[in-house]
């Protein structure tokens, strides 16, 4: 059968400083996984020195630190209360992290504490975070979103995600840079595209709702990072998915009085929080309209078809086909290829039969729907049913030579009807077939072949 046509920390000595720098700049080539190293920085402040006290910020931060460790983050730096002073935060952002984080690393920074919004010199809103020893209204001792943006330009991490458990706005979004292929052997992979993203708990001036032990924003984060944010069920959780999930969850939990904000500050990639199978990776948004879902299904089908043509992973191809069917359950060609895959590569006749039956239902005008069903039924020993299916394939396309060949094999080897076998093989040759076994069988049946004279 032919296939149908149609991814408090301070370095004390110069020696340690050099060793730290070597971690970042010694990363050559590609890591075996998505990242060489994953970094988490978690800040929680309840007992402010001069600002009003908070209750639950540290508990939220500690829960986030544990969630990052559960995700396999290699280093999680925790800064609570006085450890999160203005001086310490500036050291972390301007010295420690830029020297240690490499270009194939991932960074997630979580902050839970006071925040505010002021106006910059041009009258534009500027959001800021309040360290342990700063006043809520003292911007000179705050960490502004512009400073976080500048930090993201200096740090080498491939993916950077800021999770801010506070209500604030005011950031500048940089348009994605054009991809440069200069000096590259191949285009940048989707998982390697740079991303700087931010997710805040609420809009400016909105109160942060709490429920049970944590704020509803943190509860949504924790749930999303355990897999609930994988709304398209492809095994991957991206920052953009987490943002959409958290926004919806918090809006419902807070009675539409709290609205998380999500933005991409730089780059055109997407921070990966949970890694799934490479074959199912995608960076495009989830299709919404029927036309978008059909287009996505066709894209998944073509990827599966390409993998099979290249003799690559059959399981990856199957994953793409299942995704195509998820997008468009009536996409018949995907069932055709799925049936062939189970028949020819994965050796599962029951799954092959189920897919073939759905193929004939949703793609009755595709001769391969009936052809594949016939091959499966023949393999199962249901020869009469196989004959009917192959004949139906010819009713759709009377010049499909491969079907005549399979029909000839069925008559010759299974049904033992020499006359029908000869007729099928003759039609095979007449429609362009070149297999010698068809010509040999005809010659033997007519008494002119060597076997017939014995």
Residues 241, 307 within the same domain: no
Residues 241, 332 within the same domain: no
Which domain-ending residue is among 217, 245, 280? 280
Q: Which of 21-35, 220-234, 336-350, 419-433 has the lowest mean pLDDT?
A: 21-35
pLDDT > 90: percent of the chain: 61
Name the residue with higher pLDDT: 187 or 310: 310
Q: Where are the alpha helices (DSSP H) in 345-417?
A: 349-362, 367-379, 383-396, 401-409
Residues 99, 118 within the same domain: yes
- Residue 9 belongs to some domain of the structure: no
- Residue 20 belongs to some domain of the structure: no
What's the structural domain count of the chain? 2
Spatial separation of the C-alpha atoms in residues 432 and 453, rounded to whole Å: 29
Which domain-ending residue is among 232, 256, 280? 280
Residues 256, 400 within the same domain: no
- Residue 8 belongs to some domain of the structure: no
pLDDT at 284: 58
Asked whether the predicted pLDDT for residue 304 surpasses 60, the reply is yes
Name the residue with higher pLDDT: 169 or 264: 264
Name the residue with higher pLDDT: 322 or 284: 322
Residues 248, 396 within the same domain: no
Residues 195, 49 within the same domain: yes
Strand, helix or coil for residue 259: coil
Residues 128, 238 within the same domain: yes
Which domain-ending residue is among 262, 280, 298? 280
Q: State the residue range of the domain holding 314.
A: 290-453
Mean pLDDT of the chain: 85
Residues 246, 334 within the same domain: no
CATH of the domain at 366: 1.25.40.10
pLDDT digits (tens, 9 = 90+) for 104-120: 999 999 999 999 888 77
Asked whether the predicted pLDDT for residue 7 surpasses 90, the reply is no
Residues 230, 322 within the same domain: no
Residues 122, 240 within the same domain: yes
- Residue 10 belongs to some domain of the structure: no
Residues 85, 117 within the same domain: yes
Q: Environment class of residue 179 by beta-carbon count within 10 Å: exposed (0-12), middle (13-18) or buried (19+)?
A: exposed
Sign of the CA dihedral 161, 162, 163, 168? negative
- Residue 17 belongs to some domain of the structure: no
Where does the pLDDT of residue 313 fall: very low under 50, low under 70, confident under 90, or very high at 90 and above?
A: confident
Q: Which of 96-105, 112-121, 201-210, 443-452 has the lowest mean pLDDT?
A: 443-452
- Are the CB atoms for 194 and 40 separated by under 8 Å? no
- Are the CB atoms for 142 and 74 separated by under 8 Å? no
Residues 326, 449 within the same domain: yes
């Amino acid at each position: 059968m032919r296939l149908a046509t149609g991814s408090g920390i301070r370095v004390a000595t110069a020696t340690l400083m050099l060793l730290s720098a070597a971690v970042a700049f010694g990363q050559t080539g590609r890591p075996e996984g998505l990242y060489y190293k994953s970094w988490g920085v978690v800040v929680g402040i309840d007992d402010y020195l001069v600002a009003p006290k908070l209750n639950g910020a540290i508990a939220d931060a500690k829960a986030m630190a544990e969630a990052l460790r559960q995700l396999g983050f290699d280093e999680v730096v925790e800064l609570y209360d006085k450890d999160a002073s203005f001086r310490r935060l500036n050291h972390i952002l301007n010295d420690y992290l830029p020297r240690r984080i490499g270009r194939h690393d991932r960074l997630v920074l979580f902050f839970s504490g006071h925040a505010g919004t002021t106006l910059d010199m041009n009258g534009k809103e500027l959001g800021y975070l309040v360290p342990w020893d700063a006043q809520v209204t003292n911007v000179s001792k705050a960490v502004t979103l512009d400073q976080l943006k500048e930090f993201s330009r200096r740090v080498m991490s491939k993916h950077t995600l800021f999770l801010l458990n506070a209500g604030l706005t005011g950031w500048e979004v940089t348009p994605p840079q054009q991809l440069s292929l200069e000096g590259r052997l191949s285009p940048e992979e989707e998982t390697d595209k740079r991303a700087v993203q931010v997710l805040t708990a609420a809009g400016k001036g909105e109160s942060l709702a709490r429920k049970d032990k944590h704020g509803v924003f943190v509860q949504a984060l924790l749930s999303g990072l355990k897999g609930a944010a994988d709304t398209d069920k492809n095994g991957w959780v991206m920052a953009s998915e987490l943002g959409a999930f958290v926004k919806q969850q918090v809006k419902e939990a807070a009675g539409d009085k709290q609205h998380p904000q999500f933005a991409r500050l730089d780059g055109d990639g997407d921070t990966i929080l949970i890694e799934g199978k490479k074959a199912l990776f995608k960076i495009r948004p989830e299709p919404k309209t029927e036309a978008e879902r059909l287009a996505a299904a066709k894209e998944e089908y073509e990827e599966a078809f390409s993998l099979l043509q290249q003799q690559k992973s059959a399981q990856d191809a199957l994953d793409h086909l299942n995704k195509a069917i998820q997008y468009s359950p009536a996409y018949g060609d995907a069932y055709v290829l799925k049936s062939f895959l189970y028949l020819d590569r994965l050796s599962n006749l029951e799954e092959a039969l189920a897919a073939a039956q759905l193929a004939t239902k949703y793609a009755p005008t595709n001769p391969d729907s009936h052809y594949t069903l016939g091959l499966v039924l023949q393999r199962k020993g249901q020869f009469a049913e196989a004959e009917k299916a192959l004949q139906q394939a010819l009713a759709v396309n009377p010049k499909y030579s491969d079907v005549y060949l399979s029909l000839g094999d069925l008559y010759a080897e299974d049904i033992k009807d020499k006359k029908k076998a000869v007729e099928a093989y003759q039609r095979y040759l007449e429609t362009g077939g070149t297999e010698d076994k068809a010509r040999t069988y005809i010659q033997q049946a007519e008494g002119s072949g060597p076997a017939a004279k014995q």
